[in-house]
Amino acid sequence: MISVFPMSDVTYKRILVTGGSAVAGEGLRSVVSRGEYPGREFIFPASKELNLLDFASAMAYVENFRPDAIIHFAAISGGIQLTIDHPASVMRDNVIMNFNILEAARVSHTPKLLMTLSGGMYPMNAHIPIKEEAIHDGYPHESNYSYAFAKRLVDPMIKAYRKEFGMDIIGIVPDAIVGPRSNFNPSASTAISALIRRFYENREGDSPLVVWGDGSPLRQVTFSEDIGSVAIWCIDNYSDPQILNVGTMEEISIKDAAHAIAEYMDIDKERIIFDLTKPVGQHRKAMDNSRFVSLSHFTYTPIREAIRKTVEYFIEHYPDSEKLRL
């Protein structure tokens, strides 16, 4: 049975957020900056301050801050090309980071730990919409297998550490995330982030804006601030080894996303062409978030609004390579 307890029963006041400079961490930082969690102290260390690939460094940082809870957003992730070119490094670094934060939390007796998995870990042939129980039912997409298996390993990590050490560890599964601090580097960006950069850098003139495939694949895309709010809700209200799908159920086609990006940049949509000689990709990868929504009654930012806010952030900060991770 899923265990849920009301926020009034437990309050985690000192919260350490790993990966705070990436898109999910930035989403939580934005929510915190609006004063939605008064009386709490959040810390968002940069990777140079908290080196999760080195256990001694991770242990020392956690011991020094003594958090009541850790939200572990940090990951080595990006586009398909990154995992194709560096499958061993991606797998190794993610597994090391996950074990180091687990061990640091265990040794320092951190009361709560939230781990993040990935929608890309689910089997290619899973029934749509994908439920959490399907996690180990088949092979993930070949192009992403190393990252997928590193993320799948989080599930038995949670169960094992809860059973042997009695730790309160939970796992959440977001889908694609957009928002400020998205990664817009072509070698590491997701489809929508890549389109935003490509369209903006080629907005002048009348040359074609090429989108791979026929534009029909559907994708779930969640706004980064929603993921930040979800993480806090789960820290306060959820305690169970069962992982939770927490991304939106709303879907948008690649074609509609491309048209929305063009609209927000005042680009003529007629310039967009679809290259049918290129791979279309998996048509749907929709996850079922009904378990989480039934518990939380959470409502999500509409996809088009999430894309609009991401486009506005990109335009405002271009060409700042640090803020846009170009």
Query: Which residues are known to be catalytic?
Result: 147
Distance between CA atoms of residues 95 and 106, nearest Å: 16
Distance between CA atoms of residues 8 and 231, nearest Å: 17
Burial class (CB in 10 A: 0-12, 13-18, 19+), 178: buried
Q: Which of 27, 88, 78, 77 is nearest to 247 (CA)?
A: 27
Distance between CA atoms of residues 119 and 1, nearest Å: 23
Tell me whether the omega of the peptide bond preceding residue 129 falls within 30 degrees of 0, making it cis: yes
Assess contact for 117 and 177: CB atoms under 8 A. Answer: no
β-sheet bridge partners, residue 238: 4
H or E, element range at 151: helix 145-152
Radius of gyration of the CA atoms of the chain, in A:
19
Burial class (CB in 10 A: 0-12, 13-18, 19+), 55: middle
Burial class (CB in 10 A: 0-12, 13-18, 19+), 8: exposed
